[in-house]
Amino acid sequence: MSARASRRKAVNTIAGIVAGGAALLSLLALGSILWTLVARGLPALQLSVLTTSMAPTGENGGLANAIVGSLIQVAIGMLVATPIGILAGTYLSEYARGSKLGDVTRFVSDILLSAPSILVGLFVYVLLVATTKTYSAYAGGIALAVIAIPMIVRTTEDMLSLVPVALREAAAALGAPKWKVVTLIAWRAAQSGIMTGILLALARVAGETAPLLFTSLGNLNWSTSLGQPMASLPLAIYQYAGSPYDDLVQLAWAGALLITLGVLVINIIAQLALGRKR
Amino acid sequence: MNQAPSLAIAGAPAPAAAPASTRGSERLFSGAVTGAGLIVFGLLGAIILMLVLGAWPALTHFGPAFFWNPVWDSVANEYGAGVMIYGTLATSLLALLIAVPLAMGVAYALTEIVPQAVRRPVGIVIQLLAAIPSIIYGMWGFFVLAPYLAQHVVLNVADAFVGVPVLGKIFDYGSGNSVFTAGLVLAVMILPLITAMFVEVLGATPVILKESVYGLGATRFEVIRHVALPYGKRAFIGAIMLGLGRALGETMAVTFVIGNATRLSPSIFAQGATISSTIANEFNEAGGGSLKLAALLGLGVTLFVISFIVLSISRALVGRRVEN
């Protein structure tokens, strides 16, 4: 074997070792995160976490109000974002192909998609909190909606563009008006893809903390009033993780484990839904 | 011959012949769809308008110097974004410097070395890791990484560089909560995202291209280096820019570990602040209508401008939509 060939072989081997090392290092870091999450979260995860509200240190509080608060705000967010997102995605895919307004809207949606979530929180603060002079669950829900909308727009448009044109033409040839072609043919064909997009958006906003800081503020007490500040799981974690008390820090880990499990389960469902279709 | 299907056929009944109810439904549906499009269209303008409106008092009070003044002093009521812009850029670039080579290595290992059967499950695990909320990364950084770095890394590295010009300043003594730690946490956070995209890009290289180079006697590394890398260049850049965008705006992962010190230091082991960490950290101290609140919103405007620039650059480099 020539010197050149053996050098090339050596380079190849070294590259493989370096890549393997990088993979191991990455696994180590990410494994450490999951391990910490389970090791600290699982012992702290008792039934009382789900059944009692947040309480000062030493009073055996839980996260019930934060969990319910998160559910309420995420529900508000998704109820607002889903119809707007699907319709806007449909507009981009079915009504605005090649039009100027469509191109600009697509660009705007892309910017929104990559806009830092904390800016959305500031936006809703100026729009709803500063004007109404009160932090509220509404404001939190709207902030989450603003984050979810561009995600749903993007997947809806992408999934609709995968529907064969021939399918639409066949329906149109039978005399179906455009809105029927879109709702009965295109939407139905893209159903599982759009559902996946909605689920992924749901998983994403469920873990968002920054946009809630200035909108729903957090609340240590039980409150389901939509016009009042409301607790949420990510905010409770943020408040408790930085606290000097061990029992509160433990609760933060329990909450962290809960929210990660929730997000992962939604993601797995979404992947399965998409995988089955493929 | 081949006319667009939308053209009316000569002699066919005019559309007016359709039942009135159908026309009404059609109008209703296209109206709803267009309306939703307009809402999305207007959302961006509304965000910019609200941020600038809220930041206006600070922007007029401090003038353009707001964007580079390194003083952030709540007592003297003087605010500038200099330190935070530095912190934002420094942590994000540090994150890219660490995450991109690692992601490249993982992607290479995953597509070329690891057995086929393992690839799909590992790919799914990577995608799931990318979905973990950023606050979890922040907590891990705060409770695990920062104490570890403080005990085992910062002192040793600083010791090694004492007396060395320039490097001695960059690796000066500091604490576990620092610009460096924040960059490291961000790197770990964007690692799954970038890796997933890299794997996709490597997998998209046409097999026939790779096989013809193998046929010429190339090694695996050479195929990646000289075929897959150039072939997917644009997509790689797009993935990196997307990771950069994510790192620039990240709040929770950074706020936990950067120390939130609003003074400038050349050392990466010194405490620092990013735009988003400062907003998250100091918002509750700013009263409604105060100059500080306006300054915090001014930081928001700054962050928006920075991420817009990054997105524009990546679009210009990639030449098409950056996939998420």
Q: What is the pLDDT of residues A195-220, one digit of tens each?
A: 999 999 999 999 999 999 999 988 88
Hey, are the CB atoms on A263 and B133 less than 8 Å from each other? yes
Residue of B nearest to A27 (CA): B106
pLDDT at residue B317 in the model: 82
pLDDT of B13 higher than 90? no
Q: Is B272 helix (H, G, I), strand (E, B) or coil?
A: strand
* C-alpha span between B322 and B324 (Å, rounded): 6
* Residue where the block lists tokens 């307004």: A101
pLDDT-based confidence at residue A97 (cuts at 50, 70, 90): confident
Q: Is it the case that residue B320 has pLDDT exceeding 60?
A: no
Name the pLDDT band for B323 (thresholds 50, 70, 90).
very low
- Which chain B residues in 292-321 lie under 8 Å from chain A, judged by CB atoms? 296-297, 300, 303-304, 307-308, 311, 321
Q: Which of A194, A255, A196 is nearest to A42 (CA)?
A: A255
Determine the residue of chain A that is closest to B320 in CA distance: A107
The pTM of the full predicted model, rounded to 2 decimals, is 0.91
Selected residue of B43, B127, B134, B312 to mutate for chain A interface (largest A Cβ count, 10 A): B43
For B222, name the nearest residue in chain A, comparing CA atoms only. A12
ipTM higher than the 0.90 cut: yes
3-state helix, strand, coil in chain B (%, to 5): 75, 0, 25
Identify the band that residue A77 occupies on the pLDDT scale cut at 50, 70 and 90. very high
**CA–CA dist A162, A277 (Å, integer):** 13
Mean pLDDT of B86-107: 95
Residue ranges of alpha helices (H) inside B63-178 are 82-108, 116-131, 134-140, 146-152, 154-160, 167-170
- Distance of residue A62 Cα from the nearest chain B Cα, in angstroms: 19
- What's the pLDDT score for residue A1? 62
CA B140, CA A68: separation in Å to the nearest integer? 25
- Mean pLDDT is lowest, of A97-101, B20-24, B105-109, for B20-24
Average pLDDT for residues A129-148, to the nearest whole number? 94
What is the spatial distance between Cα A223 and Cα A138, in angstroms, rounded to a whole number?
13
Closest partner residue to A11 among B104, B113, B221, by Cβ?
A: B221
Amino acid identity of A188? R
Inter-chain CB proximity B132 and A263 less than 8 Å: yes
Nearest CA in chain A to B36: A88
Residue B264 scores a pLDDT above 70? yes
Inter-chain residue contact A110 with B322, CB threshold 8 Å: yes
Q: What CA dihedral angle connects B49, A134, B61 and A112, to 10 degrees? A: -30
Q: With an 8 Å Cβ cutoff, are A110 and B311 in contact?
A: yes
Chain A residue numbers touching B132 (CB-CB < 8 A): 33, 207, 260, 263-264
Is the per-residue pLDDT at B63 higher than 60? Answer: yes
Stretch B101-119: mean pLDDT, rounded? 87
Q: Is the pLDDT of residue B154 over 90?
A: no
Quote the CA–CA distance of B192 and B190 in Å, as a whole number.
6
Q: What is the mean pLDDT of residues B194-209?
A: 90
The pLDDT of A112-123, averaged and rounded, is 94
Measured CA distances, A208 to A77, A265, B307, B319 (Å): 12, 16, 19, 31
Supply the pLDDT for residue B114.
82
C-alpha span between A82 and A154 (Å, rounded): 12
The single-letter code of the amino acid at B115 is P
Q: Do A127 and B50 touch (CB under 8 A)?
A: yes
DSSP class of A136: -
Q: State how far the Cα of B206 lies from the Cα of A212, in Å rounded to an integer.
A: 45
**Tokens standing for A196?**
């996946």
CA atoms within 13 A on the CB side of A13: 6
- Is B128 in contact with A267 (Cβ distance < 8 A)? yes
Of residues A30 and A271, the one with the higher pLDDT is A30
Average pLDDT over chain B, rounded to an integer:
87
